[in-house]
Amino acid sequence: GHPAYVDILELFHETAWQTELGQLLDMSTESPETGEMDFSRFSIERYKLIVKYKTAFYSFYLPVASGLILAGVTDESALKQVKEILMKMGEYFQVQDDVLDCYGTFDVIGKDGTDIQDKKCSWLCVQALKKCTPEQRKIMDENYGQDDPAKVKKIKELYAELKLKEMFDTYQDEGFKEQMA
């Protein structure tokens, strides 16, 4: 067998496990007692864990780490540095994907966004919950997670009122500067 076989196998096992954990976090936004959506489970910390485990590991770290391992790179500090960079890239990718899910059109992104209807703990939802007034929170409570175009529209209007698209633009600019530093 290939000299890196065991290392690659371990990497794939680790990534599968992490992806399952991320999926579990993503699917557990409802109260275990009532089955109702529970906004207390929507936080930036939880969001970052979902992104790290559900997206960043398999979409960013796995392909690069596989190539490095197969190329014979065994320096743990180099692999750790690559992992740190790719985890951050995975986060930026997912935040952008969340924004495109809300604001992108089928012609541009190739799908109809459903994060609002699907009760996703998205970056936009987490930011809205952090910034909203009690009146705006009522709009979130009454409309988020509903498969009703009028209710989705209300959430998107609230996002606009909270200037979340502008907040994303700032986040993106700051992230670019951080990656270039």
Mean pLDDT, residues 61-81 taken together: 94
Predicted pLDDT at 180: 73
SS3 132: coil
Total Cβ atoms within 10 A of residue 170: 10
pLDDT digits (tens, 9 = 90+) for 150-164: 999 999 999 999 999
Closest CA to 122 of 88, 147, 159: 159
Yes or no: say if 144 and 37 are a contact pair by the CB < 8 Å rule.
yes
How far apart CA 42 and CA 124 sit, in angstroms, is 11
Query: What is the rounded average pLDDT of the residues 125-153?
Result: 97
pLDDT tens, residue by residue, 74-131: 899 999 999 999 999 999 999 999 999 999 988 888 888 999 999 999 999 999 999 9
What would the two tokens of residue 15 be?
């990534």
Q: Which two tokens stand for residue 159?
A: 């996002």
**What's residue 151's pLDDT?**
97
pTM of the model: 0.91
Query: Sorting pLDDT into bands at 50, 70 and 90, what band is 5?
Result: very high
Q: Taking the CA of residue 15 as centre, how many other CA atoms within 13 Å lie in the half-sphere pointing to its CB?
A: 20
The 3-class SS string of 111-165 reads: CCCCCCCCCCCCHHHHHHHHHCCHHHHHHHHHHCCCCCHHHHHHHHHHHHHCCHH
